Amino acid sequence: MADSFGFAEARKRMVEQQLVRRGIKDERVLQAMCEVPRHRFVPPNMWAMAYQDHPLPIGLGQTISQPYIVAYMTEQLELEPHDRVLEIGTGSGYQAAILSRLARRVYTIERLPELSERARLVLEELGYDNIEFRVGDGSQGWPEEAPFDAIIVTAAAPEPPPPLIKQLADGAHLVIPIGPTGYQDLMRITRHGPHLRTEYLTPVAFVPLIGLHGYAEPDENS
């Protein structure tokens, strides 16, 4: 599907007004944000809002993050073209698309099969062919493909999941929201051999990470 001039102009404005003005400096991140058609990752009735400065619902209680947060978290990973990245929380597939433009390979895990399949179809249609998909508990990571040069978690955990820490390569960053539902601290954890460095980045609000090392799945009968 061809990208219209109007959407291309909307992406350019998004990058200039929402990202550059807020301090996003990584040129590769800015270029990826300018190229990836964000509207393709939201329902068609929301295409007109796709490049606005806020998150959008994508169904099943999930959201596509505000463009600035996507760019900011991606920049904090400090990706190189040869890197292998693990993403926890495929969601719409938009974050995976951005990562795929910056890294050699992206491994993305989603617990909801419907979302994973929807994202896979959109990403394949757009020609992003360096992404591997898995349906399952993202809090346990993807041990068969570890270690990873970067890990990004797009859902909030009560504390950093130990399997993700274990799956970090030396010198790699884990960017993850930590805290209760509704309000969290975005943290960056960097492995230096046996040692970990933890940095506070910014306040955020993400849906909860459901899994063994996250939050328990809500009880539908409660």
Assigned domain for 219 exists? no
- The pLDDT mean for the chain works out to 94
Assigned domain for 211 exists? no
Assigned domain for 116 exists? yes
Full domain range(s) for residue 198: 5-204
pLDDT at residue 60, rounded to an integer: 87
Structural domains counted in the chain: 1
Assigned domain for 20 exists? yes
What pLDDT digit, counting tens, does each position of 12-57 carry? 999 999 999 999 999 999 999 999 999 999 999 999 999 999 999 9
What pLDDT digit, counting tens, does each position of 169-198 carry? 999 999 999 999 889 999 999 999 999 999
Assigned domain for 134 exists? yes
Taking the C-alpha atoms of residue 113 and residue 135, their distance in angstroms, rounded to an integer, is 6
Question: Number of H helices and number of E strands within the chain?
Answer: 6, 9
CA angle 48, 51, 52 (to 5 degrees): 90
Assigned domain for 81 exists? yes
Instruction: Judge whether 65 counts as a catalytic residue.
Output: yes
Annotated catalytic residue, options 65, 92, 116, 139: 65
Whole-number Cα distances in Å, 50 to 5, 65, 168, 192: 15, 10, 33, 38
pLDDT reading at 2 higher than 60 = no
The pTM of this model reads 0.94
Assigned domain for 159 exists? yes
Domain holding 154: CATH number?
A: 3.40.50.150
Assigned domain for 122 exists? yes
